[in-house]
Structure 1
Amino acid sequence: MKKSILALCALTLAAGLAACGGGTSSYTIDGTVIGLQYDGLVLQNNLTNDLAVKPAGLDAGNNVKNVNYSFPGEVDYGKAYSVTVKTNPAHQTCTPAGGTADTAGRLTTINAVISCSLVANTIGGTITGLASDGLQLINGSTGGSVTIAKGTDGTYPTKFVFPAVVTFGQTYGVTVYKQPATQTCTVTNGAGTMGDNAVDTITVNCVNNPS
């Protein structure tokens, strides 16, 4: 009888330890950053404990390597953790992608995933002298296009923005794909390489065709 009671106690204790993650009392906050290409990323756990994460470069196939990280110290069993982005790296935006907020011990290990992508912005500018409908501009680097209606009286500048964004570091080249009826338009400052901010300095000037 005593042996049965002891065996039952042993099983109960083992089950209790299994339910508690095998008896582990504290956990390391580990994680992975996907797509990190530039310096400057700073992560936080519970809005404290800053951790700078640097890119790992490219692999043999010219793909961006994943970066593994670990916060110093450990989190006690049952305590909440929340990994957030305090500072984005240069030219990129990073966001939590999975496993970044939970209770320590609910899972055997912690892997807080952060995903980073290059910033992307719009390109656009100003059109002057447009007095006819039908003007269509095209961005040769993406194939995106925009059609602009004539101005109120053909003299006021007309603003335009391409609906498709351009990723940081990508070149763009805006040209006239279709001229408006009875007019000829030319593009200035239409080519460049996308930086961190939207481009709004492209100019298009339209003049009437000779009679």
Structure 2
Amino acid sequence: MKSPSRSLRLFAACSLLAVLAGCSSSSNNTSVNLSGSVTGLNADGLVLSNGISIVAVAANATSFVFPSRVLIGSQYSVQISKLPATLICTVTNGNGITYNNSDINNVKVACAPRNNLGGTITGLASAGLILANGSDTVSPAAGAQSFTFANKVGQGFSYGVTVLQQPAPQSCNVVNGSGVMGVTDINSVQVNCQ
């Protein structure tokens, strides 16, 4: 039969271990910071999100840190919620799972200026022409001699202008419609209609 003092010591030791275990399970040991680097951000307006956590990144910033920590074992997904009006930005290393108590700091956000994409039109006598660059479209009016897409293209990004809809009964083709956006506006795309 166990003595009462031995049982009391055993209970006290177990209680102490439970208290110590509780102290070690602070939020700093169960979650990590989510941060990264930023390049090319020369304007305000960039907003990043990770789920419901958001961070606004100021012009000329070179880094960012989300205000909410990420629980260990959770997924994270850094997305661009809002872009500056003059820039296009991309995220690299933005998705993953936190496996241990090491902070995530390798997310990269790269921004580049955006330029106009457009060109000239010859022979367009009918309505109904729709030009496309990816999901962006423009519908020049009958008699139009030029066009410009509403959405600008980031420097270093590819573009490809195609005819999405012909202006019946005419037929139009595109010349110089694809390339990579440089440091100035592209206005050399030619649309010829017959």
TM-score by length of 2: 0.50
TM-score by length of 1: 0.46
Tell me which protein shows more helix as a share of its residues: 2
